[in-house]
Amino acid sequence: MSSSFEQSHVEFRHRPTYAEVCLNSLRSNLRAIQAFVGDAKVMAVIKANGYGHGFEQVAKTLEAAGVHSFGVAYIEEAIELRKLGITHPILVFGGLLKEQLDLYIENDVQVTASSVTKMEQIEEAAARLGRRAKVQLKIDTGLERIGVHYYTAPTLFDAALKSQHCEVVGVYSHFADVRREDLSTTKLQLERFLESLRYFEERATAPFLRHIAASGGLMALPESQLDMVRPGLSLYGVYPSAGLDSLLKLNPVLSLKSQVVYFKVVQKGAGVSYGHTWVAPEDTRVVTIPLGYGDGYLRRLSGNSEVLIRGQRSPIVGAICMDQLMVNVGQGVAYNGDEVVLFGQQGTEQITVEEVARASGLSPYEILVTLNQRIPRVFVGN
């Protein structure tokens, strides 16, 4: 087997459930975002296995397509990118322990300095290794996660300015709430960030990147695009909140598909699946799909979501099992081997990740990253 594409197809032959990842759509979304933000650079966020799409293929596709840099959550993800041959800049967003700092510096990975203490630890590690560490300063403007508070940011800026072994390549923050219908909190955070930056801008001797906007911010509040944006969910063709689809046209990258593996007629009054939470109101045709919460298709979708079979919507009935779920096709037709789309397009019908998220009461982020490695990824558009 000479490629991930071939490996995926070998895996798919052994299991009818798979996630189809369209790399052409990924490239198209990157181009759309680049055009939308103009001169701002694009950092592609590919943490959590590329939002469930496949770390290696996503990273290599985006690097070849001209993305500026990558953002990940943990140093382990950054090291994996380096092992894959990715040479673009990589920023790790997450908090760190000083024991990890050698890994950052040795692998040329940008470190998030989120406090004066962290900045001093980075300086000490770089001096000990005889290397220069690339650092991005994190300012907390209202998320209360990591980062020095905006009103005490000068203390972090001073620590960075006196560093002899660190190169500050960026200063960033993160929005806590981006909703198009109410951007008051978002605008307040942007104001806090820009105000705190003035201190550093007046004293810095080298250029650096300013960034605060992820997918929602770059669309809903264009003035937040600054020098760089950090799209994650939008790269994969999914909108983080309602009302953004009118601002930027994106194409879903991942479709979740399976096949019918069993067909039966359930008699009126018979219960289906564990607990008999659904009882057939009449004699009806029910098919079984080899996918369940053990794959990350959440049990909470039981009884309130649909799938596509033969271009028609059909409801999931009964409790979703660890490895299987049942679908009521009514008096319709379905055969073993028929394609089933859990999200994606079939004929003229489409089920989006956003729709599945609403049915589950969760966010689109959770729907994508919950799909685990038991589901093979099949890459198209290489």
Handedness of CA 117, 121, 127, 133 (dihedral sign): negative
Question: Residue 310: how many CB atoms within 10 A of its CB?
Answer: 17
By CB neighbour count within 10 A (0-12 exposed, 13-18 middle, 19+ buried), where does 82 fall?
Answer: middle
Beta strand 148-149 with 69-72: parallel, antiparallel or unpaired?
unpaired
> How far apart, in whole angstroms, are the C-alpha atoms of residue 155 and residue 139?
11
Q: Please confirm, yes or no, whether 268 is among the known catalytic residues.
A: no
DSSP letters spanning 141-163: SS--SSSEEGGGHHHHHHHHHT-
From 18, 41, 47, 365, the catalytic residue: 47
Q: Please confirm, yes or no, whether 274 is among the known catalytic residues.
A: yes
Tokens of 97: 């322990």
From 151, 162, 268, 274, the catalytic residue: 274
Tokens of 62: 């985006």
What residues have CB less than 8 Å from 207, skipping those under 6 apart?
A: none
> How far apart, in whole angstroms, are the C-alpha atoms of residue 250 and residue 235?
8
> How far apart, in whole angstroms, are the C-alpha atoms of residue 87 and residue 379?
22
Number of residues written out for the chain? 382
- The answer to whether 252 and 51 have CB atoms below 8 angstroms apart is no
DSSP letters spanning 7-18: HHHHHHHH-S-E
Give the active site residues.
Answer: 47, 274
